[in-house]
Amino acid sequence: MNVTLRRLIRLAWPIRNWMLLAALLGSCTIISGIGLLTTSAYLISMAALHPSVAALNVAIVGVRFFGIARGGFRYLERLVSHRATFRLLARLRVWFYSALEPLIPAHLLEQQGGQQSELRSGDLLRRAVSDIDTLQNFYTRVLAPPLVALVIGVLMWIFFGCFGIVFGLIFIVFYVIAAIGVPWLAQLLGRRVSREIVSTQAELESQLVDSVQGIADLIAFGQEERQAQYIQTLNGKLRRLQMTSAYVSGMQGGLSNLLMNLTAWTMLLVAIPYVHQGSLNGIFLAVLVLGALASFEGVMTLPAAFQQLGGSLEAARRLFEVVDAKPAVSNPAAPSPTPINQEVRVEHLSFRYAPGEPEVLRDVSFTVPQGRCLMVVGPSGSGKSTLAHLLLRFWDYQQGKISVGGFPLQNYQQDDLYQQVSVVEQDTHLFNTSIRENILIARKGASEEELITAARQAQLHDFVMSLPDGYDTRVGEQGLRLSGGERQRVAIARAFLKDAPILVLDEPTINLDAITERAILDAIKALRQRRTTIMVTHRLVEMEMANEILVLQRGQIVERGSHTSLLKEKGLYRRMWQQQHGSANTPIQA
């Protein structure tokens, strides 16, 4: 059995009782349909002989019972199977998100066939929503229906065998071909197509998301026509695949109907001589034919289900591909220690993103005492942001040691570590909700007074109050209704509200104009008071607030000291300072 198929079945194990109940109700539905047709055939055949009404009473009651029962059982079967499946799909979404969360951001690059390919936001969305929805077909159409087909096949084989061994043999031969042969053929012809449909849809959705997010750049560089053409190509490929799938569906539907009618005709042709010989009552002739037709309802859905099996397995493979990825970091088994202070110490730290790649950081050591401020500066690509991410434990380092509060970083549960640290990043993500909700992410239980105090400290309150809806103003997708400086103030307000003892700032004033930058730095100076602060920046502004400055170049510390002492050394720091303040034009090598 396919490994992916086995894993899908294991995922469905918690709802096995529901699936068995759905299969039982589905069997009762088809049995009621068979009973309705066969009883009706018997009633009409008997009525043609003009017997007394009393002789027809049982058949009349049977028709009424089976007619009502079929509708009731069908309703219950749909209710049970879909409720169980939707519950399972809801659990699968939580399961997938829980597995995805530890992988970000370290595993936004994953290995596929020995090559790295980026998991784009559109592709992740496709996996989290559409691929899981695709599994609905597997759980509702692949698991329970074969059980229903098996139950109906056995019961009807016994039923027809009661009229003669030859009738049971005719039925079981055609039924097995329809139940196994046609689905196998449909799965064989549709496996590749259904898998390609899933992968093509995933690529199309990823391209659409990328196009929407980057529409301004596409228009600015005149590439919108090229992108539209590529999307049209993908759309055409998807349309051709769907047409091929439709042809396969038509073929399997035709074969199933052909087998059903061949069964009925064969039953009729074989039964007629028996009636002439008197070994079979002619009343049961229509019963055999209509019973054979009705019994095929148990297998009519199987070919379509197995045609889509390839798509379900491809969707599951894409989910397992993410879930099976090993997290870059893992929580320790023991509870987190209680920090004895808020000191941050880094000793002989070295790091590379993957084996065989060059080291991004080499032998970095420093200490930030409690309540002190350290600034890390250097040219682009020198390892500044990597150092900040290691302090937040997005990755685990290969050599050296990082201690927070007197204990190694790996000794902390990640949630406990984040309780100790506030972060203001260069790309602040704002959710498409109100300013209030975006600030309260830092501490959901905060009062209105605490919220306003944090906004005031971040120099955000006056701006918010100038808006018509105040703190209930929606910020739009990715906060695009706010300027860059306003988004950064929201991030700083979050840090004030969280009130963590350690503060990490990663390029908090990048891409801001001078006036906005000055206002943000004023807010940061207030924020860093009484907090252990590490600020990563390449903008040498307000450097006097740092107790110590580290200068990184090619992953190594090349200079360290105060702002005044570093200017006197006439090294890299001084050249960067002169460049940014218009005193020199010497290029700087990273």
Alpha carbons 308 and 245: distance in angstroms, whole number: 9
Give 399-456 pLDDT, tens digit per residue. 899 999 889 888 888 888 888 888 888 777 888 899 999 999 988 888 999 999 989 8
Nearest to 537 by CA among 380, 381, 392, 376: 376
The class of domain 3-323 in CATH terms is mainly alpha
The answer to whether 318 and 198 are in contact (CB under 8 A) is yes
Give 128-150 pLDDT, tens digit per residue. 777 888 787 777 777 788 888 99
pTM for the model stands at: 0.67
CA 5 to chain centre: 19
Degrees, nearest 5: CA angle 530-531-534: 140
Q: How confident is the model at residue 482 (pLDDT cuts 50, 70, 90)?
A: confident
- E-state strands within 352-463: 361-368, 373-377, 399-404, 407-408, 421-424
Tell me the domain boundaries of the chain. 3-323, 344-431+498-580
Residue 513's pLDDT is what? 75
Alpha carbons 166 and 277: distance in angstroms, whole number: 15
Residue 285 has phi, psi (to 5 degrees) of -60, -50
Averaged pLDDT, 166-177: 93
Residue 311's pLDDT is what? 76
Element of type H or E holding 514: helix 514-527
Counting Cα atoms < 13 Å in the Cβ hemisphere of 189 gives: 17
CATH topology identical between 3-323 and 344-431+498-580: no
What the block records as the tokens of 533 is 């602060």
Residue 108's pLDDT is what? 55
Averaged pLDDT, 188-195: 81
Question: What residues contact 343, with CB distance under 8 A and at least 6 apart?
Answer: 367, 368, 369, 370, 403, 404, 405, 406, 532
Q: Is the pLDDT at 118 greater than 60, yes or no?
A: no
Q: Which CATH architecture does the domain made up of 344-431+498-580 adopt?
A: 3-Layer(aba) Sandwich (3.40)
Residue 320's pLDDT is what? 87
Give 309-359 pLDDT, tens digit per residue. 777 888 888 888 888 877 777 788 888 888 888 899 999 999 988 788 888
The answer to whether 375 and 577 are in contact (CB under 8 A) is no
Alpha carbons 456 and 82: distance in angstroms, whole number: 51
Q: Is the pLDDT at 478 greater than 60, yes or no?
A: yes
Q: Is the pLDDT at 300 greater than 60, yes or no?
A: yes
Residue 111's pLDDT is what? 37
Q: How confident is the model at residue 586 (pLDDT cuts 50, 70, 90)?
A: very low
Strand 502-506 and strand 548-553: the pairing is: unpaired
Residue 106's pLDDT is what? 63
SS3 content of the chain, % helix, strand, coil (to 5): 65, 10, 25
Q: Is the pLDDT at 115 greater than 50, yes or no?
A: no
Percent of the chain at pLDDT above 70?
Answer: 95
Averaged pLDDT, 198-217: 80
- In eight-state DSSP terms, residue 508 is T
Alpha carbons 142 and 135: distance in angstroms, whole number: 10
Q: Is the pLDDT at 122 greater than 70, yes or no?
A: no
Most confident of 24-38, 207-221, 373-387: 24-38
Across 418-436, b (16+ Cβ under 10 Å) vs e yields: eebbbbbbbebebeeebbb
Alpha carbons 248 and 191: distance in angstroms, whole number: 10
Give 525-576 pLDDT, tens digit per residue. 888 888 899 999 888 888 888 899 999 998 899 999 998 898 888 888 888 8
Alpha carbons 27 and 145: distance in angstroms, whole number: 9
Residue 174's pLDDT is what? 94
Residue 260's pLDDT is what? 92
Q: How far is CA 318 from CA 199, 416, 457, 518, 586, in A?
A: 9, 32, 46, 47, 50
Alpha carbons 162 and 168: distance in angstroms, whole number: 8
Q: Which residue has the higher pLDDT, 106 or 349?
A: 349
The mean pLDDT value of the chain amounts to: 85
- In eight-state DSSP terms, residue 562 is -
Residue 516's pLDDT is what? 76
